[in-house]
Amino acid sequence: MHSADADAFPLPRRGSVHAILSTTRPRQWVKNVLVIAAAGAAGALGRDDVPLRVAVACVAFCLLASGTYAINDVRDAPEDRLHPVKRRRPVAAGELDPRMATALGVSLMLSGLMLCIAVSPVLGLVGAGYLALTLSYTMVFRHMFVLDIVAIAGGFVLRAVAGGAAAPVALSRWFLLVVTGGAVFAAAAKRYAELGRDDPAGRAPVHARREVLDAYTPALLQAILLGSAMVAAIAYLVWAWKVPVVAGVPWRPLTAVPFIACLARYGLLVARGAGESPEDVLLSDRPLQIGALMWVALFALEVHAAS
C-alpha cells in the first residue's frame, strides 16, 4: 500500500498489548531457527540433553532480538514515520510510549542474556557479542557503507555460532562459510530491495530511504549478491561432500539440491523487488517453503540412516 493510501485509510489503533507484541516482531523469530539448524548440521541434536539446550538458546535469541528491535524502534521512530510500511510500527505510530519501549527492550535483552548464561558461559559470551553487534548496528553501522551489510550478516553468523555453543559442538569451517555467504546474500538483498523500493533504477525518494543507500548502486549490490551466492553454494557443496556416505546413499550431498534451488529462488524474488524483509519472503513464498521442507526431510533421512 502506498503512503497516500495509508493516509486515506488509516489502520485502527492498536491496544497496549497488541502494540507491545508487534514491537517484539515475532515474525522475525524465524531467523533464530538458524540456532537449531547449526546444531543439527553438526549432528548434535540427538545427543543427551542437547535438544533442550538448543531450544533454550533459540528462545534466548528470540528475546535478545526482540529487545534490540524495541530499542531500534525508539531510535528510528522519526525516520520510520517517513517510511511507507515502517510508519506502522507502534513507537513511530504513537501507540507505544518510547520510555515503555525502551524498558521493554532492556528487560528482554537482560532476560535473553540470563538464559544464555544458564545454558553455558560460552553461550552467554556469544549472546553478549550478538547484543553488542546489533546495538552497534542500530547506533553506528547502519549509516556506514558496506559495514552495514557486514553487521547484518554478522548477526546471522552469531546465531549459528550460538547453536554450536549451546550443543556444545564444534561447527565446520565450511558450514560457517555457508552461513556467512548466505547472510551476506540476505543483507545485500535487503539493501537492493530498499534501493529500488519506489523506482527500479534505484532513485527512490530521499525521504523514504536510508542515507547510506546513496553510496550503493544496483550494479554493486548485484555483484555482492552474485558473489555471496556463489560462496554459499560452493561452500555448501564442499561441506556436504566431506560427510561420509551413509548406507550407500549420499544423503548430505543430496541436500545441496534443495539448498541451491532455494538460493536461486530467493535471488529471483529479490530481482522482482522482494527481500527488504527476509522473514516475509520466507513465510509467504510457497516454493521456498517446499524447498526448505525437502532440505529438512533429506537431512532427517541422513540422521535416521546413521542412527
pLDDT in tens, 33-45: 999 988 888 878 8
Query: Is residue 181 in some structural domain?
Result: yes
Least confident of 64-73, 148-157, 275-284: 275-284
Query: Is residue 3 in some structural domain?
Result: no
pLDDT value of position 209: 58
Give yes or no: residues 43 and 161 share one domain.
yes
pLDDT value of position 58: 97
Give yes or no: residues 205 and 222 share one domain.
yes
- With cut-offs at 50, 70 and 90, classify the pLDDT of residue 215: very high
Residue 207 has pLDDT above 60, yes or no: no
Query: Is residue 137 in some structural domain?
Result: yes
pLDDT value of position 115: 98
Give yes or no: residues 164 and 204 share one domain.
no
Give yes or no: residues 164 and 236 share one domain.
no
Give yes or no: residues 148 and 217 share one domain.
no
What is the mean pLDDT of the segment spanning 238-261? 88
Give yes or no: residues 25 and 118 share one domain.
yes
Residue 55 has pLDDT above 80, yes or no: yes
When comparing pLDDT for 201 and 250, which is higher? Answer: 250
Last residue of a domain, one of 124, 148, 170: 170
pLDDT value of position 195: 87
β-sheet bridge partners, residue 246: 249
pLDDT value of position 289: 95
Domain that holds residue 78: 13-170
Residue 79 has pLDDT above 90, yes or no: no
Q: How many domains, in total, are found in the chain? A: 2
Query: Is residue 122 in some structural domain?
Result: yes
What is the mean pLDDT of the segment spanning 129-145? 94
Last residue of a domain, one of 152, 170, 188: 170
- With cut-offs at 50, 70 and 90, classify the pLDDT of residue 47: confident
pLDDT value of position 2: 43
pLDDT value of position 208: 52
The candidate with the shortest Cα–Cα distance to 253, out of 288, 292, 185, 302, is: 302
Give yes or no: residues 204 and 160 share one domain.
no
Tens of pLDDT, residue by residue over 96-115, are 999 999 999 999 999 999 99
Give yes or no: residues 136 and 216 share one domain.
no
Mean of pLDDT over the chain: 88
Give yes or no: residues 156 and 183 share one domain.
no
Residue 200 has pLDDT above 50, yes or no: no
Share of the chain above pLDDT 90, in %: 68
The candidate with the shortest Cα–Cα distance to 177, out of 256, 128, 234, is: 234
DSSP type of residue 205? -
Residue 60 has pLDDT above 90, yes or no: yes
pLDDT value of position 286: 95
Tens of pLDDT, residue by residue over 5-19, are 444 445 567 778 999
Residue 238 has pLDDT above 70, yes or no: yes
When comparing pLDDT for 92 and 307, which is higher? Answer: 92
Residue 271 has pLDDT above 50, yes or no: yes
Query: Is residue 219 in some structural domain?
Result: yes
| Secondary structure of residue 273 in the 3-state scheme | coil
What is the number of alpha carbons within 13 Å of residue 103 lying toward its C-beta?
Answer: 6
pLDDT value of position 161: 96
pLDDT value of position 31: 92
Its pTM stands at 0.87
Pairs from 100-104 (Cβ < 8 Å, separation ≥ 24): 100/20, 101/23, 101/70, 101/71, 101/73, 101/74, 102/70, 102/71, 102/74, 104/20, 104/23, 104/24, 104/67, 104/70
Give yes or no: residues 111 and 260 share one domain.
no
What is the mean pLDDT of the segment spanning 159-184? 94
